[in-house]
Amino acid sequence: MSDSNNGLNIDSEILFALKKDSSTATARSILKYLYPHPPVNFKLSDVDPALVADIVRYSKECHPDDASTTARIRHAMFNYFALITYRKKRKSIISNTSIQNQ
């Protein structure tokens, strides 16, 4: 696992703490650590492709018995950014609506 750690530039103790029950959850956990407050409309395609590949590789190495494919792990990573964008836009719409109603 230390080989894939090189590309992530995250301390091994922190990486161990970020490991979750599945490869998809581990990948999302690493993204949450690296991008705790991404800007609105930030997408997985904005992340360095080498970093994405390292996260996928590390997630698979942590969970060798997990049957998740690379596409499934990448989809879970994409959903992390999509959910944040959705929540920020929804919060903006709700706050604008409440301001207009006052």
Confidence of residue 5 (pLDDT cuts 50, 70, 90): low
pLDDT in tens, 22-42: 999 999 999 999 999 998 889
Asked whether the whole model's pTM tops 0.85, one would answer no
What number of residues does the chain have? Answer: 102
Residue 10 near residue 30 (C-beta atoms within 8 A): yes
